[in-house]
Amino acid sequence: MLAEKIKNKTVKIGIIGIGYVGLPLARSFAEAGVRTTGFDLSKNKVDGINKGISYIPDVPSAVLHKIVLQKKTLSASTDFNGLKNMDAVFICVPTPFDKHKAPDLECVRSASASAARTLRKGQLIVLQSTTYPGTTEEVVQPILEKTGLKAGQDFYLAFSPERIDPGNKKFDAHNTPKVVGGIDKESTSLTAALFRTFIDADKVYEVSCPKTAEMCKILENTFRAVNIALVNEMLMLSERMGIDIWEVIEAASTKPFGFMPFYPGPGVGGHCIAVDPFYLSWKAREYDFFTRFIELAADTNMNMPYYVVSRLRKLLGAAGKSISGARILVLGAAFKKDIDDCRNSVALYLIKLLEDAGAEVMYNDPYVPSFKFEHELYAAEKNPREYKSQELTGELLSSVDCVVVAVAHSNYDFGFILKNSKQVFDLVNGTKGRQAANLHKL
């Protein structure tokens, strides 16, 4: 019986997709003593994990080495037939959007088909990929039930949104509360019991159904996207009025109630905030509902890179330079500070826009040694060239017309950067508290 296996930790966990979501989850189960296997199409990922080598900063290789080679509670495989030996299977695959901002669930469908091929009675399937409300029951469940087995009768099915915040030193998979919604009470309680093998019982919150859990994640990230859009709009107004928005936010943050600080920037990136509002607005149209407020926020955030380019054009013009032919160094390629994840990175989009404007663009990122514009959103060629991070030397800084701070990694020495640069355009307040004639802020 699955409940008994979970209780005595003899349950076997399979995780489809061992990336930024799947690997931290696998680590959590494995550290708790639960036998866990990660399944992935990438042989390089699988081979690395089986050697105890991590490719994700949030899961140090020392930790991976211990649970893979010493405790032997974690392994990885490219053979998806091994799913038949698992008691519970978690689907942790990417859910991007296409160039029309419509949901791309191809990975979810493929992972569900893999789970269906080995589905057996008594198994628990849990979708963790962020998606629109209804995906578990409208996409995953039908694929699984093509086997002839029925959800809630022959196997269990639930949704639990991932809440991983890459680079967060305070909250990780072990102490971030989990929300769980199954298609029936038993599916919910079994999934909750699994999470309680490594999370305190009171940190697992059970809801009535998968749609509620799916909407929960969408609300969390849409809340952030809308508030970022609000402060981005305030930034543009403040710039016209000659007001420092960063000082305004710092002052407003002194209020102990009724205010939560959000910060402006060149746009929103990452695998959730940049995607979730579009998933929701797409699904809402099925119900003849138009999320005008949310779409307006998305429109504001999507236009921020273009606003940055216009501001940079003015900054260079004041120095007698044209953006066409200007040499520009972009600091940061990841979608946020102190990580190596470039998914939906605004910094990359800025590089593309600047090149389209005729600028010669270089970049530096200590976490991203190289990248290619391979995604269709960038209208990439079939064989896109590889960009390589440039060494951040005084000679490089002084040779460019402007340094654009797109990501304020902790190891950037902004004193050194300001001292050696002609112009610095700080988009994220990385130079907070510093004064310099060559410093300009978004």
The reported pLDDT for the residue numbered 100 is 77
Domain boundaries, the chain: 2-213, 241-441
What gap in Å lies between CA 47 and CA 54, rounded to an integer?
10
Q: pLDDT, tens digit, for every residue of 21-76?
A: 999 999 999 999 999 999 999 999 999 999 999 988 889 999 999 999 999 999 99
The reported pLDDT for the residue numbered 4 is 96
Residue 126, strand partner residues: 90, 158
Q: Which fold has domain 241-441?
A: Rossmann fold (3.40.50)
List the chain pLDDT tens, one digit each, 442 residues.
899 999 999 999 999 999 989 999 999 999 999 999 999 999 999 999 999 999 888 899 999 999 999 999 999 999 999 999 999 999 999 998 877 788 899 999 999 999 999 999 999 999 999 899 999 999 999 999 999 999 999 999 999 999 877 777 788 778 889 999 999 999 999 999 999 999 998 999 999 999 999 999 999 999 999 999 999 999 999 999 999 999 999 999 999 999 999 999 998 876 677 778 888 888 999 999 999 999 999 899 999 999 999 999 999 999 999 999 999 999 999 999 999 988 889 999 999 999 999 999 999 999 999 998 865 445 455 667 889 999 999 999 999 999 999 999 999 999 999 999 999 999 999 999 999 999 999 9
The reported pLDDT for the residue numbered 275 is 79
pTM of the model: 0.90
One of 3.20.20.140, 3.40.50.720, 3.30.70.330, 3.30.70.20 is the CATH number of 2-213, namely 3.40.50.720
The reported pLDDT for the residue numbered 381 is 56
Residues near 188 by Cβ (< 8 Å), separated by ≥ 6?
158, 180, 181, 182, 206, 207
Domains 2-213 and 241-441 share a fold: yes
The reported pLDDT for the residue numbered 382 is 62
Whether 272 is a known active-site residue: answer yes
- Among the listed residues 92, 272, 342, 402, the single catalytic one is 272
The reported pLDDT for the residue numbered 307 is 97
